[in-house]
Amino acid sequence: MNTLTWNQTIKDGQTIVSSGGLFELGFFTPKNSTNRYVGIWYHKIRPQGVVWVANREYPVKDSRGLLKIGEDGNLVVLDGSEKAIWSTDSSFISTRTTAVLMDSGNLVLREENSKNNSEIILWQSFDHPTDAFLPGMKLRISTKSKNRFLTSWKNSSDPAVGTISFGTTGSNSDQLWLWRSSVSYWNGTLNDSQFEKISENDTNNFFFSKIGNGDEAYITYFSTQNLTRLVLDVNGLLSLLVWRTGFWWRVWYLPKPLCTFESCGPYSSCSFNGAYYLVGVNSGNDYRTDGPCACITNFEPVSQEAWELGDFSGGCKRKTPLQCGKEEDGFYPLKNVKAVVPTSAFEAATAESCRTECLSRCSCNAYAYTNGSSAGIISCLIWDGSLRVFTGETKIDPSDIFVRIDASEIVTNRRLCQNCGIHAIPYPLSTGPNCGDPAYRNFKCDDSTGYLTFNALDSSYAVNKIIPEMRTIVIKWDSWNFDSCYAKNNNSDIQLNPSLPFHMTSNNTIFMFNCPSPLRSSGTDCNSSSLCPMIMLDKMQCFSSMRTCCSYIAGKSSSTLHRIGVLNTGCEFYASVHNDLIRLPASDWSYGVEIGWESPLEPFCNLPKDCEDWPHSACMPERSGTGNRKCICISSFRWDPLVGYCTKERSWTRRSLSVIIPVTTIVGLLFLGTISRWWRGKMFKENGRIADKFRGNGKEELDVPFFDFRSIAAATENFSDSNKLGQGGFGPVYKGKLSGGQEIAVKRLSRTSGQGLEEFKTEIILIAKLQHRNLVRLLGCCIQGDEMLLLYEYMPKKSLDYFLFDQNHRKFLDWEKRFTIIVGIARGLLYLHQDSRLRIIHRDLKTSNILLDDEFNPKISDFGMARIFGGNQTQANTNRVVGTYGYMSPEYALDGLFSTKSDVFSFGVVLLEIVTGKKTTSFYHSENSFSLLGYAWRLWSESKGSELIDPLLVNEARSDVKDVIKCIHLGLLCVQEDATDRPSMASIVTMLTSETMDLVTPKKPAFFIRESLLTQSSSSGPDNCSKNELTASMLEGR
């Protein structure tokens, strides 16, 4: 159905679909939001790509919203109290109106006249666009009325009108503009139906044209691609997105890298440095960024959440607020930057006069000085308001600007190099002979531009980022950008001097192209399931033929610690991509190389004066007895390699001991006097030590917040039964609400659980390092006494088995939702197996471990049994088989062997459960003693695959029967007995999202027939599965 008549309503959960099945209209919820909006999106394309939003400023707060035609003939959105919050507001009143969703994506409200069989269009969504420009849509140009503009979302979670807009002014109908708020930052001219600033390759994809002239003219476009849309995102990009191979690919964008004062907010700087870092996730309106914007040193984002969503307009704030008048503040120099017009200016005799004037005014935030009008005079510039700086091209001359900071922020290391543009140079990095550590003098600052470069053996490279806490830099890599191909040069490998303290990190994936086939090089991945096809598809114009592409991870072997590239393999050219980005479409990858540096040691010295630059140190013989002398920290101080000087040591002093000794004596007496509580005290101390150990691991392992037990108890109403969500192998799960209003799910380790500290720690370590939309998010943990708890984001729809195996709830899972769940689980597993920083085997995938959010998007949970594989490791074995009966692969259940293909088997079982609506264990009491796998194989081999479909889906699935049968086919491929016959998760995702791929014929699956009742079948009993309890046999299909 593609129409809505006056006597019909669209309730939340209901939709209408255009006649050709291209677009869908209904209620939706953006990512990381609970609000409901009426919108239009592409039908059957996941993730959801929203192209239009009705009530973008007035969300529905619950799931009781309605869309209907009101009494006056207008479309109207009603909230749960049936209050109208949005309307088409057409002035033409009629009771014969109908809303129709067209295959163009246009929602049309029209009046139908049965007498003369005519139609009058009263309103259409194409006249009221939001952030998407679809083929056939018209942007109106008029000198007499307001033009139609595209306007960005406020952020990826809020479709309200944002700060970015696109359109025409009316005064010049041949000019198209991009604005941030009211300030333009790009414009282009239409010339012979094309933008003047669009490259020749781009014009082959789509065509702009101008229709009409004078006061009523329109800009429209059409595309040679099947599914395309121009999207104006929250970062200020107008991007052409094309749907192919299961992703939205960005094939063109505006504007090209350019910084203006409006690009970033106050106290942040825009510096593309020739590189483009804006990165879009393949989910329609959802964009993230690695940022053209960065806070200047000693400042942090005003809203970290807004920055993560790509909204930099709020800018940055001081980490430490100024305390004017209490203590003299300091100044932090920004070298060679441009700034907005200062608040005031005056002439003075010395630069110190400028500094003194700024300190005397509490409102002064920064100052600078330049040459004055005559010799011996300088001009002082004062900024009382917010400071905006950048390093891009402008007519403004660069200068050194001194930003006011609190006295506590002043760095005392006299060997610290001066800033280079927006880059703060941390110790030990050196840009010259008088700063930093001489061993790290690989950097050069161009004082005229403020650009920082890193000198490698082969060449010099622009520095895009410095991350002091990680001891890494990211250098720009010029060989390939979005608009061009590589310079094909076999000798362009990046080489570092092995004798210097720099190395390639393992956070770089290197792709080598046009390699000889076969390529015999250890550590390289040349399989068709690798990431190579993604990057080759994105840059097809760079390849004369689809020759061999291989990839490897830098830093994994000694040969790639100091050199990356084609490495004498015979491949023609290469690219380097940050590992954190490889889960995104290749068109959104940024190209660069991450280089790490070793922690600096104490500097060498000969005379006492050599240590003057390192306070609290003295020139003394090295402790190792080598005869060398170093600046060794004096008593009560220790060497801090991160800051490069001696810092106060937190040691026990006599004064503290005078307090501790009597306190310890009292505690000892109390302990002896309360021997009855000895065991509990011992356990509390032991677990406290474990907690301290966990906290001590810090970023190396447990980078998650620790919560106080009392706050969690309060959030869950003291773990009341009314808050209990369920019971798992780990223990009970409770719903809670933190003091700030955030809803959480709390897993409490049961004392009788088969899982223990190792599983608890494993789950924290893994989930803390994994970030994917189809993995549950860990918010924190608590270890106090004998209590161990995990805090997760709350999933309002509970788990998949709650809906799938309940007769009353299963009706809410239509085929579209089930297919979305299948694809989401597959993408989550692909991330675990291939795309994350680690290679993870889940080992306990089942329907109860798949949680559902408000829109039934799946999130994999319960990582207590998971295992991490090394870079080249493909399988492992164990004597302790853990998991859940019915979901374990035969090689794992019988021989303890597990690999990524073990998870593939479990995924196949879950897939068949989703299609059939039946539990894998529901057949064990049947006459034939078939498992679900045996039942599915029998019907499949008898060409009765359609009989497997859940009866609730039979009528609905008729139009999608090919997709349903394909899922059954794929499920049987996943549960084949031989692990080598099962497809990889990369292949599975491709099969699910491809319309044309042919699937191979499945072989007979492995069937487990229970010989005796198991006392437990969940992961709560990790040791209860043994070879004696499970047998594998092959059942012949009839």
Q: Among all residues, which ones are annotated catalytic?
A: 844
Beta sheet of 118-124, edge-to-edge order: 3-5, 97-101, 107-113, 118-124
Separation between Cα atoms, residue 368 and residue 336, nearest integer Å: 11
Among residues 282, 871, 285, 825, the alpha carbon closest in space to that of 534 is found at 282
Strand 158-167 with 23-28, pairing: unpaired
Cβ pair 953, 817 in contact under 8 A: no
Report cis status (omega within 30 of 0) of the bond before 47.
yes
- Write out the two tokens for 67: 């869309």
Separation between Cα atoms, residue 870 and residue 840, nearest integer Å: 9
Q: Tell me the CA end-to-end span of the chain in Å, nearest whole number.
A: 41
Q: Which residue has the tokens 């895009």?
A: 464
Indicate the burial class of 624 (C-beta count within 10 angstroms; 0-12, 13-18, 19 or more). Answer: exposed
Looking at the DSSP assignment, which residues form a beta bridge with residue 155? 158
DSSP designation for 863: -
Separation between Cα atoms, residue 735 and residue 754, nearest integer Å: 23
Separation between Cα atoms, residue 126 and residue 606, nearest integer Å: 77
318 three-state secondary structure = strand
805: how many CB neighbours lie within 10 A of its CB?
16
Indicate the burial class of 545 (C-beta count within 10 angstroms; 0-12, 13-18, 19 or more). Answer: exposed
834 three-state secondary structure = helix
Among residues 416, 467, 656, the alpha carbon closest in space to that of 578 is found at 467
- Residues belonging to the chain: 1038
What are the CA-CA distances from residue 20 to residues 17, 24, 46, 221 (Å)?
Answer: 8, 10, 18, 21
Among residues 154, 192, 189, the alpha carbon closest in space to that of 168 is found at 189
739: how many CB neighbours lie within 10 A of its CB?
8
**For 89-217, where are the alpha helices, taking DSSP H only?**
none
575-595 per-residue burial string, b: 16 or more CB within 10 A, e: under 16: bbbbbbbbbbbbbbbbbbbbb
937 three-state secondary structure = helix
Cβ pair 149, 232 in contact under 8 A: no
Among residues 476, 594, 591, the alpha carbon closest in space to that of 542 is found at 591
What angle, 0 to 180 degrees and rounded to 10, lies between the N-to-C axes of helices 900-916 and 815-830?
170
**One-letter-per-residue 3-state SS of 456-508:** CCCCEEEEEEEEHHHCEEEEECCCCCCCCCCCCCCCCCEECCCCCCEEECCCE
Among residues 646, 568, 648, the alpha carbon closest in space to that of 600 is found at 646
Separation between Cα atoms, residue 882 and residue 78, nearest integer Å: 51
Looking at the DSSP assignment, which residues form a beta bridge with residue 630? 604, 620
Query: What H or E segment, with its residue span, contains residue 894?
Result: helix 890-895
Cα–Cα–Cα angle for 846, 847, 851, rounded to 5 degrees: 115
Separation between Cα atoms, residue 138 and residue 217, nearest integer Å: 9
440 three-state secondary structure = helix
Separation between Cα atoms, residue 838 and residue 863, nearest integer Å: 13
992 three-state secondary structure = helix
